[in-house]
């Protein structure tokens, strides 16, 4: 689902990030959100290292 979301978006580049970066970010965020929604902890790459709070 994350890869599908990343492939489906068509972001523009600007000074804050390239289009490629934004596509990858979309895929990662969708993957993490879905994992959290089903009770997982995503890929553990959050600010807290996936350890909650």
Q: How far apart are CA 4 and CA 23, in angstroms?
A: 10
Cα 21 → chain centroid = 10
Q: How many CB atoms lie within 10 A of CB 32?
A: 19
Question: How many structural domains comprise the chain?
Answer: 1
Dihedral (Cα; 12, 14, 20, 23), 10-degree rounding: -60
The per-residue pLDDT for 35 is 95
The per-residue pLDDT for 32 is 95
pLDDT in tens, the chain (53 residues): 888 888 888 788 888 889 899 999 999 999 999 999 998 765 655 555 555 54
> 17: domain range?
1-53
Nearest Cα to Cα of residue 2 among 38, 30, 37 = 30
């Amino acid at each position: 689902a994350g890869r599908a979301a990343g492939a489906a978006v068509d972001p523009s580049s600007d000074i804050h990030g390239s289009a490629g970066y934004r596509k990858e970010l979309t895929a990662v965020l969708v993957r993490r959100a879905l994992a959290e929604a089903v009770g997982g902890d995503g890929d553990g790459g959050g600010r807290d290292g996936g350890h909650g709070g």
